[in-house]
């Protein structure tokens, strides 16, 4: 027997990608590496209907501010977002690429440890993300997806850490990722 064509599908995605094009107001970026490409790994759970869906996305970008350098001992950016997905109708794209747009809100944790702990950062920032991508299944249960998203902190989050930022804390960047998708 076949499943109902209008039933929503559940997906689990494991992604590998990169963050790039960063902009930040943290006053000191000792190695000026905050905007360069950095690896990103993540997982997400998706509930996707004919047109609309929901997603919970978690990703981590170790070395965001340049690990292993003379001044930065360790750094990373981790984001947790809840998103709404608007996809092309499944019945029209059943055996081909299914494009989608995605957007949502969440939290971004920024951490950096420097030599002598002078320019350390530890902040949790509210964030928004928007992006677009495409999804294709190679079997009934396994597929691939790729997307690009813009993450940006929002709201006034004044620094209370003295020299680590200038004014409000702000971080924005792009993330491009490819994922293995398991449909269950």
**In whole angstroms, what is the distance from residue 47 CA to residue 167 CA?**
39
| Tens digit of each residue's pLDDT (9 = 90 or more) over 49-87 | 999 999 999 999 998 877 655 677 788 999 999 999 999
Residue with tokens 């006034």: 156
**In whole angstroms, what is the distance from residue 119 CA to residue 172 CA?**
19
pLDDT given at position 50: 93
Tokens of residue 27, six digits: 């006053």
Query: Could you tell me the domains of the chain?
Result: 9-183 (2.40.160.20)
Give strand pairing partners of 127. Answer: 106, 153
pLDDT given at position 68: 58
Q: What is the pTM of this model?
A: 0.85
């Amino acid at each position: 027997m076949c499943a109902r064509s209008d039933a929503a599908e559940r997906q689990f995605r494991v992604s590998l990608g990169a963050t790039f094009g960063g902009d930040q107001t943290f006053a000191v970026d000792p190695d000026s590496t905050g905007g360069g490409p950095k690896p990103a790994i993540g997982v997400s759970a998706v509930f996707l209907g004919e047109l609309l869906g929901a997603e919970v996305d978690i990703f981590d970008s170790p070395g965001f501010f340049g690990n292993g350098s003379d001044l930065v001992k360790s750094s990373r950016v981790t984001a947790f977002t809840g998103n709404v997905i608007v996809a092309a109708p499944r019945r029209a794209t059943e055996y081909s690429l299914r494009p989608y747009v995605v957007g949502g809100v969440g939290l971004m944790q920024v951490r950096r440890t420097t030599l002598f702990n002078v320019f350390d950062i530890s902040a949790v920032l509210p964030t928004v993300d928007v992006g677009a991508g495409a999804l294709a299944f190679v079997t009934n249960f396994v597929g691939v997806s790729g997307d690009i998203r813009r993450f940006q902190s929002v709201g006034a989050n004044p620094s209370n850490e003295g020299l680590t930022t200038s004014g409000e804390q702000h971080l924005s960047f792009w993330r491009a990722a490819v994922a293995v998708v398991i449909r269950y």
